[in-house]
Amino acid sequence: MSGKYLIFGATGSIGSNLALQLSAKNEDIHLISRNEPELKELSEKVNSDFTVLDVLSENFSEKLAQLKSTDIKGIAYCIGSIDLKPIKMTKKSDYEKCFDLNFYPIVEVIKQFQENLKENKGSVVLFSTVAVQKGFTNHSIMASVKGALEGLTVSLAAEFAPNIRVNCIAPSLTNSKIAQPILKSKVVADGIAKAHPMKRIGEGKDSAAMARFLLTDESSWITGQIFGVDGGRSKVS
């Protein structure tokens, strides 16, 4: 079927690897990010269109509407954040900020492109975290918001079937720009790697490979699922 794959957060570790992997399969993609220099560089590598867009901007919905003329086959929302602190130090605004970035924008995106996705029997891929299923200290903000995304995944999968598939990937810590404050210490990075049965930190290409599979027709009988791409952390002790 025709249609492009929209990649939100295209200049991040997972998003950029997803763009490269889809491009290698000759899929038509459209890159979306707030980082214009990196976006232009990536678009040249994968020969794709792009839109400079900050999901937190006041005109987000207006700019999103400008993309409605694009024929859409799939959407990957690869935008994320890391906010770790003990619950006694959290404020209501911490949770609101996390929802504003990780949850509310993709709801608006799906609402805008629902009919287009339906016409193309499309797919949506969201991103959660291993911390939803595996309890970690100081993760109340992330686990709560990403847990809501997992709930959204199964709810929309039921609502949209059989016309649109919706799945979610739950990575463990991945080597990325947002993870650098944690991984910059070799001692800390090595300790986290050893906590995973696969004895390494995740790479963007790991989750991107799962996202590529879930976006395309290779996974046409899969919907409403949460996939751990976590080096075994969530299931294997």
Question: What is the mean pLDDT of the segment spanning 227-234?
Answer: 97
Q: What are phi and psi for residue 227, nearest 5 degrees?
A: -105, 120
Mean pLDDT of 26-46: 97
Domain spanning 4-229, CATH architecture: 3-Layer(aba) Sandwich (3.40)
Mean pLDDT of the chain: 96
pLDDT confidence of 1, banded at 50, 70, 90? very low
**Whole-prediction pTM value?**
0.96
Tell me how far apart the alpha carbons of residues 13 and 10 are, in angstroms, rounded to a whole number: 8
Q: What is the pLDDT of residue 20?
A: 98
The angle at the Cα of 68, spanning 225 to 46, to the nearest 5 degrees, equals 70
Of the candidates 192, 173, 188, 215, the one whose C-alpha atom is nearest the C-alpha of residue 13 is 173
For residue range 130-173, list pLDDT tens digits in order: 999 999 999 999 999 999 999 999 999 999 999 999 999 999 99
CB 19 within 8 A of CB 7: yes
Tokens found for residue 164: 């649109």
* Closest of 154, 161, 94 to residue 121, by C-alpha: 161
Q: Is the confidence at residue 2, as pLDDT, over 80?
A: no
What pLDDT is attached to residue 69?
Answer: 77
Residues 29 and 11 sit within 8 Å (Cβ to Cβ): no
Cα separation of 184 and 147, whole Å? 27
